[in-house]
Each structure stands twice: as C-alpha cells, then as structure tokens.
Amino acid sequence: MKYIFVTGGVVSSLGKGLAAAALGTLLERRGLKVLMQKFDPYLNVDPGTMSPFQHGEVYVLDDGAETDLDLGHYERFTSGRLSQLNNLTSGQVYENVIKKERKGEYLGATVQVIPHVTDEIKQRIYDVTGQTDADIIITEIGGTTGDIEGLPFLEALRQFKDEVGHENVAFMHATLIPYIKAAEELKTKPTQQSVAKLREIGIAPDVIVCRAEHPIDNEIKRKLSMFCNIKPEAVVPFVDIQGTIYEAPLKLHDQKLDSIICERLGLATNEPELIEWRNMVDRIVNPTHTVKIGVVGKYIDLQDAYKSIYESLTHAGAANDAKVDIIRIDSGDIEAEGTEKYLKDVSAILIPGGFGDRGIEGKITAAKWARENNIPYFGICLGMQIATIEFARHACGLEHAHSTEFDPTTPHPVICLLEEQKEVTNMGASMRLGTWETKLTENSRAAELYGDTTINERHRHRYEFNQNYRSQLEDAGLHLVGTSPDGTLGELVEIPGHPFFIAVQFHPEFQSKPTAAHPLFRGFVAAALENRY
Ligand code: GLN
C-alpha cells in the first residue's frame, strides 16, 4: 500500500481538498485504485451537529456517516464510494481513547497524547488499509499546519511513515503564495515558514502545491526549492481557475503533479486517460445555452452550504449543453418583499434541505409560485416537505397545514415526525441516515427519468410525509409515486401534468458526478431549458 498525506499551510480555504481530490482523479485515471479520506482535528465526533455557518454542507455517505464536505469532492472526483471509516475527527479519536481507558484497556498506564492518541490515529490508517483493495490511500489533514489541534495527527503521521517505510509515504503540502499588490510581487515567506513548521515535527514535504492568483515563475520555484529543501519541479503551481473546479486535475497534470508523485512512490503507470474528463470540462466551459435556476434557501450567502446541490446543477447543465446560472435567493427576502421580485426572472426553482423554521413561509410561497405558474420545481428533503405543505394548504384547502417540526399544534400535520424518531433524545447521528431503497410507481415521471422503478438514494431527515393525508393530496393532484419498499415511508411526490414538479425526501445531490449527472437533476435542468423566456 502507498500513502499520500495532504497537509495545508498558511491559510484555510485554499483548495487543499480540491487539490487532493484532483490528485485522486489523476491517479485513478492512471489505472490505480485510489481511496480518499479526511482527518479533521476538531473535537466534534462528526460534523452532523454543526451549523452550516460553521462548516458548510454536511455530506452523507451510503452507510449514513455525516461527514465533511471534502468527502463530496472525493466522491465526485473519483469513483470510490466512501464509508464512515474515511472521515476521522479528534472527537472520535478521544471518544475511543476514553472508552478504552474506562474499560481498563491501558492496564494502569497514564493515558497521554503520545502514544495513546497518536496510536489511535495510526490504528485507523491500519484499519482502513486492512479493509480496502486500493493501491493507494490519499488522506487529507484538515486545518492548517501550526494549529494546536492538528499536532497529534502530524505526529502520528511522522511515526507512521517510519513504521511503513519512507518509500511508501509521500507528503503533499498545499499552501498560499500571496500577491502583494503594492510591490507587485508574489511572496514565498509564509510557505517557507509553514514548511519549517512541518519539518520541526519531522515531516518533510515531497511536493508543495502553491495556490496563487498569479503565475508562479522559475525564480519563485527556485527560492521555494532552496528554502523548503525540495526539487524545483516539485513546486507545483496551482493558479486560480476561471472556468470550473473540474479543471483542477488538468491544470495539476500540466504541472506534472501525478508523475512527480508516482515517481516518488515508485509507481510505474501509464499517463492518465483524461479524454472523458477533458470532454466534460469542455462541456461545462463552452455550453451552447444558459439557463437561470433559482435556489431558494436560508444559507444563501454561504458558498459551501449547498455545495453538492450547486455541483449537481453544474453536472446537469453540462449534460444538457447548458450553463446553469444559479440565482441564490434568500427565502427571508421573499417573505419580506414578495415572490415576484425574486422569482420572475428564473426559469426553474429548487428548494434544498434545511432545518429550523426561519424562512419557511418564504419557501412555501416560492413552491406555490412554481406550482401555479408552471415553473419547473425540484424539492429536496425539506423542499419536498415544503411542496407538500403548500399543496395541502392551497390545493386541498387544509388551512394551517404544516410540519410538526415548525408548528407542533398544527391542525393538519401533513409532515410529521418519523415513528422511529419519537424516542430519540441524542442529536448526534440520530436522524434517518444513509442509503435506503425506494420503489417508484411505473409510468411516473420519476421512474421515466431514472429508467427504473427501484432506486437507492441517501437520506438525512427526522420528519416524513404523513400518509393519513395521502388520498386527499392525491385526489387534488399531488401523487406519492415513491415509497420505501414496504410502502410506509413517503419518498417522492410529483404533480402529473405540470412541466416538472418533483420533490424527494432523499438527497440525490450526493450521487451526481461531473461525468454522470444525476437523472433527476438532468431532467430538471432540461425542463428549465424548455421553460426559458
Ligand atoms: N428538517 C427536515 C427533517 O428533519 C428536513 C431535513 C433535510 O432537509 N435534510 O425531516
């Protein structure tokens, strides 16, 4: 097994996850089997309980693990399907160590960061190694070198490298080379210092990926090579991308990142097969059409809160030879100023998942606008619950219909707590999570789009469609055409006759790939194009 550890320097949010994922793409397309994972030094056991303001989207895996959004990049950039073993946090590490201590497993020893915490971290790498048939494991370490929380992870990696042999482990350090406008100069000092920090711990990077707003010339490479003790060609520029993030593997390949890594690890492979990837990038960057799609949510100002939704729309755009112009609309603004102002220019409306009652009424009005004006509507998780509430209120005359999440005393709880949730008191990892099968009604629009009546999609919710209202809603035109195999849980509703009105309890956005757009997103964007003004 070969290992690549990806660390970050200077600042966060510099595209370390993207660089790691892009390296995954390149190695996979060289014919290697790649497994990607993330170590996060924060103390939460998983990001499931964190606010999107803190952390962006929570990405859900097949097995129900609630993980860092970088795992979304990994699954979109490589073909691997990840599991809960692939996102380790300090919270999990300490939880395990403390459990062992309580059981007496440390036989009276003083339990310490070194060796007990570092052993626990290394053990996870060995466990993953034992369970995968991959040739290479790429592990990204969250945070920035120099953070106090990150130290035990780096120390564990230093020890690990010695245990499995230097020739099997490569370190890639992603840093920022800031540009000082007044001096018109790129500055290498922060990178020098962050590499010095790593070397203090005993880790010498093999490759430095340098994020910069301006091209990096040979002089800068030479300087970094000298101060950081690496070959000049191992200073890999990663200059801001204009078109799409999916260009990242191509840009890094141009800089020979993959061959440097393969050479360092003694991996003999062919050049990567990138034709399919290049074609996909070309479709994203040079589309024939453009279409405006409104995403109505409450974390609209945050770049990362609906990451997978935005990516899925891009994939579906490429599949339809169109650029999707995503118009982010705050449902609170709709509440304050009405639908017309915000929705009149969009060709379709998507309402993503969410929790808590802020902005709910704005979303309900947006769904009403879409239904009444024949605007394509795609509801995801909360977006399905919203569509159901709206329909109950305005098409079935069920006044004050609501979800018990937002109004526990509503006379018409068309969305109610899942039976299995009634006893739940713990907030962490306790929703209905992960991949579950759904049966679709034959001849439904959804079945037509999927080309199948059995589908598997990922979930993350506590509330459900209340089937006591099913016949009333269906008689008025909102059909439940997808349920759990035993029929008890509502999974997908649609309105026959509407140009596109599909709403799902699950999260299709976690399975869309740039080279294989999700069928529902593809159908939605196609409908939006039909509806273009
Ligand atoms: N808050 C809703 C529920 O728990 C929707 C969840 C979601 O959109 N992910 O069911």
Question: What's the whole-number mean pLDDT along residues 387-414?
Answer: 96
Dist CA 430 CA 48 (whole Å): 9
Closest by CA position to 16, among listed 128, 139, 121: 139
Res. 441 pLDDT band, cuts 50 70 90: very high
417 φ, ψ (degrees, to nearest 5):
-65, 135
Query: Whose CA is closest to atom 9 on ligand 1?
Result: 353
Dist CA 385 CA 374 (whole Å): 19
Dist CA 6 CA 144 (whole Å): 11
How much is the pLDDT for 203?
A: 95
Taking only the tens place, the pLDDT of each residue in 6-61 is 999 988 878 899 999 999 999 999 999 999 999 999 998 988 888 877 778 999 99
Which DSSP letter does residue 530 get? H
Distance (Å) from CA 462 to ligand 1 centroid: 6
* Residues catalogued as catalytic: 381, 507, 509
Dist CA 36 CA 136 (whole Å): 9
* DSSP string of 421-446, one letter each residue: GTT----TT-SEEEEEEEEE-TT-HH
Atom of ligand 1 nearest to the CA of 431: 4
Atom of ligand 1 nearest to the CA of 383: 8
Res. 240 pLDDT band, cuts 50 70 90: confident
Atom of ligand 1 nearest to the CA of 380: 8
Which of the listed residues 350, 405, 432 should we mutate to test ligand 1's pocket, taking the one with most ligand atoms within 8 A of CB? 405
Atom of ligand 1 nearest to the CA of 356: 1
Please give all residues whose beta carbon lies within 6 A of any atom in ligand 1, as ranges: 353-355, 381-382, 405, 460-463
3-state secondary structure of 160: helix
Dist CA 235 CA 261 (whole Å): 12
Dist CA 295 CA 455 (whole Å): 25
Dist CA 417 CA 397 (whole Å): 22
Which of the listed residues 388, 459, 461 should we mutate to test ligand 1's pocket, taking the one with most ligand atoms within 8 A of CB? 461
Closest by CA position to 153, among listed 140, 164, 135: 140
Distance (Å) from CA 24 to ligand 1 centroid: 32
Question: What's the whole-number mean pLDDT along residues 382-398?
Answer: 97
CA angle 21, 22, 28 (to 5 degrees): 90
% the chain with pLDDT above 70: 100
Which DSSP letter does residue 467 get? G
Query: 129: buried, middle or exposed (CB in 10 Å: 19+, 13-18, 0-12)?
Result: middle
Query: Whose CA is closest to atom 3 on ligand 1?
Result: 461
**pLDDT at 533 exceeding the cut of 70:** no
The 3-class SS string of 224-278 reads HHHHHCCCHHHEEEEECCCCCHHHHHHHHHHCCHHHHHHHHHCCCCCCCCCHHHH
Distance (Å) from CA 57 to ligand 1 centroid: 13
Question: What's the whole-number mean pLDDT along residues 174-185?
Answer: 91
Distance (Å) from CA 459 to ligand 1 centroid: 9
Contacts 24+ apart (CB under 8 A), 218-227: 220/177, 220/186, 220/188, 223/188, 224/188, 224/191, 224/192, 227/188, 227/192, 227/195
Distance (Å) from CA 428 to ligand 1 centroid: 14
How much is the pLDDT for 56?
A: 85
Query: Whose CA is closest to atom 1 on ligand 1?
Result: 355
Which of the listed residues 385, 420, 464 should we mutate to test ligand 1's pocket, taking the one with most ligand atoms within 8 A of CB? 385
Atom of ligand 1 nearest to the CA of 355: 1
How much is the pLDDT for 6?
A: 97
Which DSSP letter does residue 167 get? G
Question: What's the whole-number mean pLDDT along residues 91-95?
Answer: 96
> Are the beta carbons of 347 and 376 closer than 8 angstroms?
yes
Taking only the tens place, the pLDDT of each residue in 62-75 is 999 999 999 999 99
Give just the sign of the alpha carbon dihedral 348, 352, 358, 360.
Answer: positive
Query: Whose CA is closest to atom 5 on ligand 1?
Result: 382
Distance (Å) from CA 380 to ligand 1 centroid: 9
Distance (Å) from CA 276 to ligand 1 centroid: 36
Question: Between 301 and 306, where is the model more confident?
Answer: 306
Residues written for the chain: 533
DSSP β-bridge partners for residue 380: 504
Taking only the tens place, the pLDDT of each residue in 461-512 is 999 999 999 999 999 999 999 999 999 999 999 999 999 999 999 999 999 9
Query: Whose CA is closest to atom 6 on ligand 1?
Result: 461
Dist CA 57 CA 47 (whole Å): 9
Cα torsion for 506, 511, 513, 517, to the nearest 10°? -40
Distance (Å) from CA 121 to ligand 1 centroid: 33
Taking only the tens place, the pLDDT of each residue in 133-164 is 999 999 999 999 989 999 999 999 999 999 99
Atom of ligand 1 nearest to the CA of 463: 10
Which of the listed residues 58, 378, 463 should we mutate to test ligand 1's pocket, taking the one with most ligand atoms within 8 A of CB? 463
